[in-house]
Every structure is written in structure tokens, then in C-alpha cells.
Amino acid sequence: MPLPHSVYQPGQTSPSLDRVKQTPAPELIPPVLVVTTEIEASKQQAAWSAVDGHVLPHHTVIGIGSGSTVPYVVERIVAQGAEVNRSRVFIPTGFQSKELIVAANLRLGDVDQYPIIDVTIDGADEVDKDLNAIKGGGACHLREKVLAEAANTFIIVADYRKNSEYLGTNWKAGVPVEVAPFAYAKVLQNLVFMGSQKPTLRMGKAKAGPVVSDNGNFIIDAPFPTEDLKDPLKILKLIKMLTGVVEVGLFCHMAQAAYFGNVDGSLTVRWADGRLEQLAKGAKA
């Protein structure tokens, strides 16, 4: 899972939960983020606006997603101040977001302790006009989907490259499918029978062998014709029925809104009710 290329430097580790309970207002450590490109600026714009609009003072359980836009989410939450964050617990979707939470001195929890989450903010690989999303480019989609489902409000943040009319337009790597390791060959075969074009087992980089998810599973990337991805819920249901599949990186009708930062500093917000907002640089959603 790439962190923003410039930039993220972990701070010190957080105190234990006991110490957090005893300490009135732990000093929060803002991530050190340096925005060096228009794409990074657009991610930051999306993340900050989403936090401003959806992480409200009365929210106490907050899901933190994965990907290159999420450090800006944590940055903005930290900027809300130690006082408001003292009464909050943050639930990660994987190793990266756990590190972000710990490094910022925010209180860490897990979804088995907090199965109801006020708001989860997460990245995406591509989002369509109906707010269906492909997720899992970083192999985190199982935990991400649990946190999206647990959340009263699920918000996607991304840069403009992820904003498409239909899934599969820009994201050509395919639908990420997490599988039990021993079943991968059979699932690959069944995905071909379903119409996937050359599904592949995701291989590690600088590691011999396959990518292993935070849950100990393998990931298959399954490309489908764009025509098929016009009905992502149908594809999701078919893949999910395959024996050996743990979770599919298609998030259908889960998000309440998607915030896309644009290259000129403006913001596009798609809402689940079909509204499309275009906000000039600096305007609030």
C-alpha cells in the first residue's frame, strides 16, 4: 500500500490504552505531510473537506481507511484538536491505518469492540456515477468493507482520476478478490468461466511469491469487460458465491458521498441521492 510518495513520517508510538484513559488530553502528533504535486493537493483537498463535513464533534467512533489519501484524513482529524479527539476511538482497516493512528497518538480500537461506527472515511481505486466503488488495490478490502458496513456514514475520498461514469474505465487491474490460499487455483478457473479476462494471482514486489493480505489470504485481480461492470452488484454477487472467496473489492451502494479533489483545486462531491456538487477552490461542501 503506497503512502504518499513525499512524505509520511511516523512519530512516536501511542501510550497504552490504560495510559490514554488516565491522561486528560494526550498530545496529538500531526502527520508530517508535504504536498508536492497537484495530485497530492487534490487528495488533501478531498480528505480535508470530507473530514470537515462528516467527522463532527459528537462522533466518538471513527473508521480510518487505507490508501494514499487517508494520511490527509488523519492529518485533518488531528487538526480538530486534542480535546475533541480525547473522547474518540479510531478503528483501522489494516496495517497502514493502524500505523497512522498510533503515530498520531490517537486512541486505537478494533471493530470487534466497536461494531457500530459513527463515520468511516476511506479511499478507493475507482468510483462510478452511482457511488459503486472498486477497492482493494492495497489488499485491504475485507476489513474496509466490514468498517464501511459498520459505519452509520461511509465516505470515500480520492483524487479526480478515480471519478468515472462506469467502473473499469480507468482502473484496468481488475476487481480485487480475497481468497483462501488453498482455493486460489479453483477460484481463478471459476472467474474465467464467469467471463473475467485473464484473472491473475497478485504477486509481491520485492518478495518472491504472492501478496498475503493482513488476514493471511491471497488476492486475485479479476478484470471484467466494462460492459459487465455497468452492473457491479451482479458481478459482486456472482463472485461472492464462488467457494473459497473471502471478500470482493466491489462496494455497491455503501457510500453516502464521494469527495474528489480536482487538479485546479476545486472539489467534486457525488452524493448517494444523485446530487453532484462542484465546489470552487476553498468553498465548503
Ligand X SMILES: O=C[C@H](O)[C@H](O)[C@H](O)COP(=O)(O)O
Asked if 100 and 90 touch (Cβ cutoff 8 Å), the reply is: no
Instruction: Give the distance, in angstroms, between the CA of residue 196 and the centroid of all CA atoms in the same chain.
Output: 24
Q: Choose between 97 and 196: whose C-beta lies nearer to ligand X.
A: 97
Q: For ligand X, which residue of 40, 75, 125, 128 counts as binding (CB under 6 A)?
A: 125
User: Is 176 or 199 the residue whose CB approaches ligand X more closely?
Assistant: 176
In whole angstroms, the minimum distance from the beta carbon of 3 to ligand X comes to: 8
What is the smallest separation between the CB atom of 68 and ligand X, expressed in angstroms? 3
Grid cell in block for residue 277: 456538487
Site string for ligand X, 45-84 (x = CB under 6 A): --------------------xxxxx---------------
Of residues 130 through 159, those in contact with ligand X by CB under 6 A are: 135-141, 144
Alpha-carbon span 282 to 268, nearest angstrom:
12
Shortest approach of ligand X to residue 138 CB, angstroms?
3
Decide if 126 is catalytic. Answer: no
Could you tell me the smallest distance in angstroms from the CB atom of residue 137 to ligand X?
3
Contacts 24+ apart (CB under 8 A), 282-285: 284/49, 284/52, 284/53, 285/49, 285/52, 285/53, 285/259
Give the separation between CA 46 and CA 48, rounded to whole angstroms: 6
**Block residue for cell numbers 472539489:** 267
Among 123, 168, 174, 261, binds ligand X (CB under 6 A): 123
Cβ(33)–Cβ(89) under 8 Å?
no
* Minimal distance, residue 56 CB to ligand X, in Å: 23
Could you say which of 40, 75, 126, 144 is catalytic? 144
Which residue number has the CB closest to ligand X?
67
Question: Can you give 58-97 as a three-state secondary structure string?
Answer: CCCEEEECCCCCHHHHHHHHHHCCHHHHHCCEEEECCHHH
* Residue 186 parent element (H or E): helix 184-194
In the complex with ligand X, which residue's Cβ is closer, 105 or 137? 137
Q: Is 124 in the site for ligand X (CB under 6 A)?
A: yes
As annotated, the active-site residues are 144
Residues lying near ligand X in the complex (CB under 6 A): 2, 65-69, 122-125, 135-141, 144
